[in-house]
């Protein structure tokens, strides 16, 4: 049985993230969505909210929840992979600039944990321009991000921005 970890902040999860999760789930038996709970960063949404939003979005999308695990982690991704007995890290690529950064991370992770490989999925064309940072910026100015994020993310995103 193959397990992969898809790590990220998911602050908030986007339709691009959901696309990558769906495609990874068609390749691996289990995909662990690792929500980074980094106390040194200040995300817009709490880790608990991000997990709840991801789970709701996956259920709404009809995902096979018995093959997906959503949980938080802090520290090195490869340590999290080893703790979950994952043989792969899943990453999404939108552009050449993503590849350069992700390649460095993949090489470093391979040095730290030679048994854990990185697998890249190209983001679908319709989601190639979407990022969580862009979503937060547009939403903070009152822009419509409903085509960029799953419906489950809209309410928590608006609430978090309103309380700022």
Contact 13, 43 (CB under 8 A): no
- Which one of the listed residues 94, 110, 124, 131 is annotated catalytic? 94
Catalytic residue flag (residue 110): no
- Which one of the listed residues 26, 40, 41, 163 is annotated catalytic? 41
16 membership: H or E segment, kind and range: helix 15-25
- Which one of the listed residues 50, 87, 132, 136 is annotated catalytic? 132
Catalytic residue flag (residue 41): yes
Catalytic residue flag (residue 50): no
- Which one of the listed residues 17, 50, 91, 136 is annotated catalytic? 17
Catalytic residue flag (residue 131): no
Which residues are CB-contacts of 143 (< 8 A; sequence separation ≥ 6)?
Answer: none
Angstrom distances, CA of residue 43 to CA of 40, 55, 111, 161:
10, 18, 29, 11
Active site residues: 17, 41, 94, 132
């Amino acid at each position: 049985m193959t397990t992969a970890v898809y790590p990220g902040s998911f602050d908030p999860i986007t339709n691009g993230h959901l696309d990558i999760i769906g495609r990874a789930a068609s390749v691996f038996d289990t995909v662990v969505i690792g929500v980074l709970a980094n106390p040194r960063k200040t995300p817009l949404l709490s880790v608990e909210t991000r997990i709840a939003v991801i789970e709701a979005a996956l259920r709404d999308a009809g995902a096979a929840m018995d093959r997906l695990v959503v949980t938080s982690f802090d520290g090195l991704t490869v340590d999290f992979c080893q703790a979950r007995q994952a043989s792969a890290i899943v990453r999404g690529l939108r552009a050449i600039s993503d590849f350069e950064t992700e390649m460095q991370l993949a090489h470093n992770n391979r040095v730290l944990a030679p048994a854990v490989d990185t697998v890249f999925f190209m983001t679908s064309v319709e989601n190639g321009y979407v990022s969580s940072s862009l979503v937060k910026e547009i939403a903070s100015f009152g822009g419509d991000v409903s085509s960029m994020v799953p419906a489950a993310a809209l309410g928590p995103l608006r609430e978090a921005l309103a309380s700022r």
